[in-house]
Structure 1
Amino acid sequence: MRTALYPGTFDPMTNGHIDILRQAVALFDQVVVAVAPNLRKMPLFTVEERITLIGEAVGDMSQVSVVASEELTVDLARRLHACAIIRGIRIGGDFETEYQMALMNRQLAPEIHTVCFFPGEPNTYVSSTLIKEVARFGGDISRLVPSTIAEGLARKFHSLP
């Protein structure tokens, strides 16, 4: 069984993330989404909330599981016997960061490959930060995130039940 690890903060998961995940599922038998805390930013959702929201958003993908992670990505990948780490590249600025990370991961775990996917054109500009900003002011994000994520954002920002 070929397992891949898709790590990220996912605060929140967007349709761009889903696009990358669907591409990964087409190539790997199992994909584990690893939700990490982001110590550099104040997350909107807790790790537990993100795991729940992502689980709901990917419910139609039986080969996807979601876990929390507070360890080095390569250490988690080894523990899960993953052969690859999945990364998404949206725009030119992502490439340099992802390239540096891939080189570091290769240095730490040369047996684990980094596989980069590009989201489809409608998702190339979408970021979790941008989604939160639009949602905070009541903008329409329905085409940018799964419906369960949109509902979660509405509850956070507008105190809906």
Structure 2
Amino acid sequence: MTVSVVVPGSFDPITLGHLDIVRRACERFDHVTVAVLENPRKQGLFSVDERLQLIRAVVGEIDNLAVERFEGLLVDFCRAHDIGIICKGLRAVSDFEYELQMAQMNRRIGGIETVFMSTSPEHSYLSSSLVKEVARYGGPLDGTVPDVVADALRDKFAAAGG
């Protein structure tokens, strides 16, 4: 039996914390799909296409990994791709409170289970929002995002004038 999971998110941008969860999921499940949320009502720093390119650049050639976009309900994406499990990373108790509600709703409306992985301690403080804030003011990004993402952040803020 092949076990397929999805690691969903906006990944605006992908951080080392996200990558930690993705890589660990790839070690534990037969097939992993990183699903990048396309929300037309929310403007991200990076377009969905840019996020997909950055993720593909940093995950390399992992045999059991795919990178896709999705819009709408995650359970619909899961059904369309024959995925039965959602894999989510948790940084803190506050993440769990929100993610548990989402997990219960996804199970109720789609029959999709959620498994949680605790973020490695060295990445537990990371969030895309925090990384963008540091990058906006020219702060150091070492240990927060892969180099290609750090370069893309610097380029994005330089083009916007800071």
TM-score for the superposition, normalised by structure 2: 0.92
Quick one: distance in 2 between partners of 1:38 and 1:124?
A: 26
Instruction: Name the structure 2 match of 1:9.
Output: 10
What residue is the counterpart of 1:155 in the other structure? Answer: 155
1:79 maps to which residue? 80
Partner secondary structure for residue 114 of structure 1 = strand
Residue 152 of structure 1: how far off its partner (Å) = 1.0
2:123 aligned partner: 123
Show structure 2 runs of 5+ residues with no match. none
Separation of aligned partners in 1, 2:29 and 2:82: 13
8 A Cα contact 2:39 2:71, kept in partner: no
Whole-angstrom distance in 2 between the partners of 1:62 and 1:138: 36
1:52 is aligned with what amino acid?
A: Q
1:129-156 Cα deviation digits (max 9, x unpaired)? 0000001111111211111111111110
Name the residue aligned to 1:144: 144
Q: CA-atom RMSD, angstroms?
A: 1.3
- CA drift at 1:10: 0.4
Q: How many aligned positions are there? A: 158
Taking the aligned partners of 2:29 and 2:5, their CA distance within structure 1 comes to 6
Residues 40-64 of structure 1: per-residue CA shift (max 9 Å, x gap):
6431000000000000010142221
Distance 2:43 2:147 in 1: 23
Q: What residue ranges of structure 1 are gaps of 5+ in the alignment?
A: none
Aligned residue identity for 2:103: A
Taking the aligned partners of 2:41 and 2:94, their CA distance within structure 1 comes to 18
TM-superposed deviation, 1:20? 0.7
Q: d(CA) in 2 for partners of 1:39 and 1:125?
A: 28
Instruction: State which drifts further: 4-13 or 142-151.
Output: 142-151
Q: 1:36-115 residue pairs with structure 2 within 5 A?
A: 36-38=37-39, 41-110=42-111, 112-115=112-115
Identity of aligned residues (%): 44
Letter in 1 for 2:74: T
Amino acid across the alignment from 2:78: A
Q: CA offsets per residue over residues 51-101 of structure 1, 9 Å max, x none?
A: 000000101422211111112101111111112111111112101100000
Separation in 2, partners of 1:121, 1:85 = 22
Q: Runs (4+) of structure 1 moved beyond 2 Å?
A: 37-42
Query: 1:23 Cα shift?
Result: 1.5
- Which amino acid letter does the alignment assign opposite residue 115 of structure 1? V
Measure, in 1, the Cα distance between the counterparts of 2:71 and 2:116: 22
Q: Give the counterpart letter for 2:94 in structure 1.
A: G
2:35 partner amino acid: A
